Structures are given as structure tokens and as C-alpha cells.
Structure 1
Amino acid sequence: MSALDSTQHDSTNIRGFYAYTDTLKGVFYGPGSVNTALPKLLDTLNGTKALIVTGKSLHDKTDVVKKVENVLRERGAYGTTFWEIGEHAPVAGIRKCIQALKECGADIVVSVGGGSPVDAAKAVIYFLQKDSGGSFLPHVAIPTTLSAAEYTIGAGYTEDNGHKVAVSDQRLAPAGIILDAELTLATPERLWLSTGMRAMDHAVENLYRPLVIPPMKVLCYQALADLFKYLPLSKADPSNLVYRQKLQVASWMSLWPVKFEKYSALGISHALGHKLGARYHIPHGITSCLTLAPTVALKAETASQEDKEWLAGALFHLRQPSTGSVEGDVLQLSKIIDKLVVDLGLKSTLAQYKVPREDLPDIAERAMDGRSDPTFPKVVQLLEGIYE
């Protein structure tokens, strides 16, 4: 069967609902776009004083934050910069950030960096609103990785006990997003490429995520095609802004902003990543490198026929020949994802991150909200398979 013969993978699910998120006013993209987009968003959102939320490394080791500060200063809208946001957004940093915002009197939040600053900014806005009972402050996200946290209505952060928790509200979606490839040049290679695999995790798991509409799944197919193409190219030529901008747009397509009528979780790979990340200090991009390919292989065995067909359909968009069966095509997708992880130099194991082997059943249990799910033993086996 040729790659063009995809009739057996046609989906029959033609019922659903779609709406934009309530708050998003615009996504601006292109190299250098921060210089023009940020002033436009300040005008649109009536922002007069901004708090920048970022991480220590980006603040101390690059000029990225200074560039954003300068744009705000030129508009007379710079308040202060809070740069104590750690990996997985520890709640202690969020508390300090709330105090910094109150002290400077900011009326708009600008996050700069990866998923942790973006999620921390959303958490700050959430807790401020809960305390005051007022409106949600507007948030402009300027991502420097490919993790795609800026497209969601949720904020994940880490409690003092090391457990990752989340809050969500439609009004937490950023009001503006700026995808400026120039600001990603300072992002370390491993972080850039691994968060690209995080975007791939979004694109793949959206193919079987409940309530995702077919047009969004087609965007995920294109996201997969671009991630497979441009991640190796970006690794080979890290200063190429075209490749970086293509990858930022692919990240956007992988988690297209959408208003769900009710909450819809992504899937096993993400659930495992959330439980592994904060507790064992594994970056979220790396958790996707660990869990995505084996999760797809598991889906070849356990998914519904509809979900298998959506996964199998990815091969057509990746210019890969069909194996002749839906299950075979899903397994083939798993194999080429794993090969990409290897080719990008991102292959690792749970043992390398010092995850105790005896913790694996507990990780699976927390990821699946208990052991009653019939696939629980298979998820434990999945973790065993990536242990060493």
C-alpha cells in the first residue's frame, strides 16, 4: 500500500463544537516582531505598567529580557522584572512574584521564557484574582522555547511538597502572544530541541484527545510534518531564523487555542510527564522524549479504532509509506518518533535521572488516577521499558 492510499484511515467523527478562547486578542509572529507587536498589544490591552516574569538564566546570561525591557521603557510602560521563576514554577517563586507585582503597581504581565515563566505568570494572575475578586490582569506571553504553554488556559506549578498541581480558567489564556525567532537564539540547544519534542507530544496526543475537532487535528498533522523537518535542520544550523520561526509556528499548531465546553486531558504521555517532571527534576521536554514513542506504541494495542486511525493518518503527512494495517502504521509512527529523539541527541532513561525503580507503579497510579484502569499494568510496563 502506498503512502497516498489513506482511505482506510478516514475518520467518521463529524460532530463537535469549536470556539476561540475568550481572551486572546492576537498572535504576532516573525523575527524582530517584539519591537512592533508589544507596543500594539499594550495599546489594545490598555497596559500602562508591566511586570516581566522570567527565569534567572534567561535574565542573567542573555540579553533577551533586556530587549523586552527596552521596548517597554520606550513606551514608558516598564514596571519591574521578576526573575526568580524556577523550573516547573515552584509556588515559592509565585508568591514572591505576586508581592513584586503589588509593589510596582503593574496592570499587565509580560512573561518571557519557556513554559515555567508562562505558567507562573498565569498562576500569579489566577491567585491575584481569587484574592481580590476583581478582573484577571491581561497577560502577554513571549516564549523562547517550543513548549506551547502560552496556548492553554491552565497553569501548572509545583507545591512545596514537590507535587505538580494545576489551576485553570478560560480567562487565564494569554491576551497576546509574540513569536519572535530572534529571541530564541540564546535558548540552549538541548532545551530548544527537547521542547520541540514537547510540541510533538501535544500534536500526537491531540490526535486522540477527547473533544478535539477534526480541523484542529489536521493542524496537528502539519505541526508533526514541520517538527520532523525543521528540528533536525535547526540542530544542524542553529542560527537559521527561518527554521526557528517555522518551529515556533509548528508549536502553535500543535496546541491551537480552543475553548472546550468542558475540560479535556491530553493523554498518557502528558500525564506521565507531569508526574515525572517536578518530582524527579526532569525537564518537561525530556519527559516527552522519554514517554511519547512508547505511549504511541501502547496506543497501537489499546486505543479505539477511531484513535488508531487518526494516529495512522500521520504517516501520510510525514511522507511515510503505510505498513498495510492501521496498527502497523501506529507502531511505525512510534518508531520514527523514537528515531528522531535519537537523531536529536535527546535519548535518555529514567535511571539516568535517578528515578527509583520501586516508584514506577506509584508514578503510573498517580498519572492514571488510580489502578482501576485496565491499561494500568501496561503503563507500568511502559515505564519499565524506559527505565534503562
Structure 2
Amino acid sequence: MSSLDTAKYDSSDLRGAYAWTDTLKGVHYGPGSVKTALPKLLSTLGAKKAFVVTGRSLHDKTDIVKKVESILKDHNAYGATFYEIGQHSPIAGIRDALKRFKDVGADVIVSVGGGSPVDASKAILYFQQQETGGPYLRQIAIPTTLSAAEYTSGAGYTNDEGYKVVVSSPELAPAGIILDAELTLATPERLWLSTGMRAVDHAVENLYRPLVPPPIKYLCYAALADLFKYLPESKANPQAIDVRQKLQIASWMSLWPLKLEKYSALGLSHALGHKLGARYSIPHGITSCLTLAPVVALKAETASKEDKEWLAGALFHLRKPSTGSLEGDILKLSADIHKLVDDLGLHSTLTEYKVPREDLPQIAQLAVGAQDDPLLPKVVALLESLYA
């Protein structure tokens, strides 16, 4: 190919494909990519009939689900659509969806939306496999937020008692992911930006998450740099599709698909978010806006030297000067996260969500995991600070 032939190609890295040859068969990205990527992934998986899983707002208030259905119908691969998946993936919706999935004889799920449809789809496939004892069926995820649930093998859902529970298996990770920024234009601003803070939470907590290899940590640094840059730009210019595409790629980098030898939880901010979110109906993204900055500040006091070094290293990638000490740099990172939340108009309090103060010790204990953990009083104090 001559240099003249390559001139028509954009060097912005906003289009392309990446494949992980085990569970994940392909990530396709780029504005308008759903039209070609969805048929390709169906063919790769040998799928014949798709079951679309989404939420009511996306189904009723936008044409996004209809676009996906139309592509499936054009390839004679449409089965049915289920749009009763609520926030935090309640088990009742998952049960109803599983029954419908089996009734239509679908062999693949196409999830459309944020983390709740993606996680609900994993749970549906988990329970289907438990019933049949056969191989896991697969999911193609088409995210419209930045929550990054599509890159993990775990599924969080809310049980009948109102608590968040998790099922996990390598086979539950979506087999295909389509990042089409055009499909995010209808995402409400608060949801889009707050799930962007969820991606910031992923990137930061991966810096001290056990078993994460160093190259992935450097991807997280790159994710942080892009998220800090492009989230404010997206707020200022919501129709900028190129900025939205860059944010989708940054979300991908924040939680790069990993095949870990054993399960490794992200960190305290996520643990607190899981306990607060389902029980008190706080959206995932908003829990990150609440908990991440104070958790990072706590790390300046409690983290190991190696974890402090990784956290402090974020300032270099954010093009911020060092304070001269690891602890000072971590506190600066915490302050920068707090400022980003404020600049995006996402400041929240536990008062707004009517979280009773008397519940704080239990929330802290569930997040930390042990009554006698010396960290427990500090976590209770952290939660107390979130009422201001």
C-alpha cells in the first residue's frame, strides 16, 4: 500500500478491533460500528437467535434498541427483547428474563445499555447453565455508559433481601463487545458522566488490586489521563462523538479484560459502593463519586509502600507536579478526584439518599469483611464524612 493509499485512514485510533483468544472473541469500536460488528460477532459465535436484554428507559425513550433489533432481523437472528431490567439488576427481572430466554429458544444474549443489563445477562446465562448443566451460552455487550461491566467475568445482582450478590465464572465474560459512540448520544448526562467516574474508580483501584500485572497498571494510568481530560470536554460538548469514543476506549483501558488465576476484588471504594448501591438505591457511578476520593486519601495512611508508589505515580500521567512525598502525592490525587467530581456537577451526599447513620458500622463491616479488622473504625469515619 502506498503512502497515498493510507492518507484516507484516520490515525486517531478511534476505529479497529482487538481479540483475546480465550473467552473474549472481539472488541469492535468506532462510531457506527454496530452495523458491521454485530453480524461479525454473531457469525464468529455461530449464534442463530439473539435475545436482547435492556432497560425500560433505553427501550421506551430512544431508538437504540430498535436499531439493534433491526440489524438482528436483517440477519434473521432476532428472537425477542426483554426490557424490564432495573438498576442494580434485581433478581425478579433476571428470573423473568431467563424464562423468556428459554421460551424463545435463543442461543445468545445481546445486552444493550449500562452495567445493569450487562450484569443481568451474565446472571441469566449463569442460571441457565446451572439448570441445564451444559456449556455456557454467550453474550454480546453493546454498552451505552462508561461503567465497564462488559470487561469482567463476575455478575452483580440484587437478591430478594435487597443485598448485592455476585456470581463469577470465566465463561460469563461477554464474548463480544461493541463500542459505538453514536449509541451513547441519548445517554442522560448525569448517567454518562457518573459512570465515567466509575471508570476512574476502576483505573485507580486497579493500581492497588492484587494480581494485576504492571502493563495493565500503565494502561490504567493512560485511562486516568484520558478520563480526566475528556469527561469535562464531554460535559462541555455533549454531542462530540469523537470525545465520547475516546471515553469509551478509556473505560476499556480502566478495566482491561484479565484472566486472573483466582478472583481478585478491586478495592475498598468498590466494596463500599456495592454495599451502598443496592440497599439504598444509589447508582453505581454515584457511589464512586462518593467513595473514591476519601478511599484514596485513606490509602495515604494505610497502603503498603508499593501501593503508595503506584498511586503516587498517577500524578505524573495527569501532568501534575509531585508534592515531594508519596503520602502528599496520594492526598493530591484524592483532591484532584474530588475536584473532578465537583467540576462534573456530581457532588452527592449520603443524606440525599437517606442512608441512616446507624447503618454505617454494618456497611463498613460488610465492606471490610471482618469485625476485628483495625481498618473498620477508619472506614466508619470515612462514611461519616459523606454526609457533608
Tell me by how many angstroms 1:369 deviates.
1.3
Cα-to-partner distance string for 1:167-224 (whole Å, 9 max, x where unaligned): 0000001000000000000000000000000000000000000011000000000000
Could you tell me which residue of structure 2 aligns to residue 102 of structure 1? 102
What pairs up with 1:274-285 in 2 under 5 angstroms? 274-285=274-285
Whole-Å separation in 1 of the counterparts to 2:42 and 2:170:
21
Whole-Å separation in 1 of the counterparts to 2:120 and 2:132:
18
Please tell me whether the aligned partners of residues 207 and 217 of structure 2 are also in contact (alpha carbons under 8 angstroms).
Answer: yes
The amino acid that maps onto 2:296 is V
Whole-Å separation in 2 of the counterparts to 1:59 and 1:381:
41
Are residues 1:354 and 2:354 paired?
yes
Could you tell me which residue of structure 2 aligns to residue 328 of structure 1? 328
Please tell me whether the aligned partners of residues 20 and 26 of structure 2 are also in contact (alpha carbons under 8 angstroms).
Answer: no
Whole-Å separation in 1 of the counterparts to 2:339 and 2:119:
30
Whole-Å separation in 2 of the counterparts to 1:173 and 1:23:
7
Are residues 1:37 and 2:33 paired?
no
Please tell me whether the aligned partners of residues 20 and 258 of structure 1 are also in contact (alpha carbons under 8 angstroms).
Answer: no
Please tell me whether the aligned partners of residues 368 and 375 of structure 2 are also in contact (alpha carbons under 8 angstroms).
Answer: no
What pairs up with 1:301-312 in 2 under 5 angstroms? 301-312=301-312
TM-score, normalised via structure 1 length? 0.94
Are residues 1:230 and 2:230 paired?
yes
RMSD across aligned positions (CA): 0.9
Please tell me whether the aligned partners of residues 89 and 120 of structure 2 are also in contact (alpha carbons under 8 angstroms).
Answer: yes
Cα-to-partner distance string for 1:11-63 (whole Å, 9 max, x where unaligned): xxxxxxxx958310000000000000000001100111100000000000000
Whole-Å separation in 2 of the counterparts to 1:367 and 1:123:
22
Residue 352 of structure 1: SS of its match in structure 2?
coil
Could you tell me which residue of structure 1 aligns to residue 196 of structure 2? 196
Contiguous gaps of at least 5 residues in structure 2? 1-18
Whole-Å separation in 1 of the counterparts to 2:268 and 2:149:
18
Whole-Å separation in 2 of the counterparts to 1:177 and 1:382:
36
Could you tell me which residue of structure 1 aligns to residue 290 of structure 2? 290
Could you tell me which residue of structure 1 aligns to residue 80 of structure 2? 80
Please tell me whether the aligned partners of residues 203 and 224 of structure 2 are also in contact (alpha carbons under 8 angstroms).
Answer: yes
Could you tell me which residue of structure 2 aligns to residue 92 of structure 1? 92
What pairs up with 1:9-158 in 2 under 5 angstroms? 22-158=22-158
The amino acid that maps onto 2:267 is G
Cα-to-partner distance string for 1:116-167 (whole Å, 9 max, x where unaligned): 0000000000000011001111110000000000000000000011000000
Please tell me whether the aligned partners of residues 31 and 241 of structure 1 are also in contact (alpha carbons under 8 angstroms).
Answer: yes
Could you tell me which residue of structure 1 aligns to residue 15 of structure 2? none
Please tell me whether the aligned partners of residues 365 and 376 of structure 2 are also in contact (alpha carbons under 8 angstroms).
Answer: yes
Could you tell me which residue of structure 2 aligns to residue 164 of structure 1? 164
Cα-to-partner distance string for 1:260-296 (whole Å, 9 max, x where unaligned): 0011111000000000000000000000000000000
Please tell me whether the aligned partners of residues 21 and 173 of structure 1 are also in contact (alpha carbons under 8 angstroms).
Answer: no
Identity of aligned residues (%): 74
Whole-Å separation in 2 of the counterparts to 1:124 and 1:34:
23
What pairs up with 1:358-369 in 2 under 5 angstroms? 358-369=358-369
Whole-Å separation in 2 of the counterparts to 1:71 and 1:374:
55
Could you tell me which residue of structure 2 aligns to residue 262 of structure 1? 262
Whole-Å separation in 1 of the counterparts to 2:22 and 2:165:
23
Contiguous gaps of at least 5 residues in structure 1? 1-18
Could you tell me which residue of structure 1 aligns to residue 317 of structure 2? 317
Whole-Å separation in 1 of the counterparts to 2:58 and 2:194:
17
Aligned residues: 370
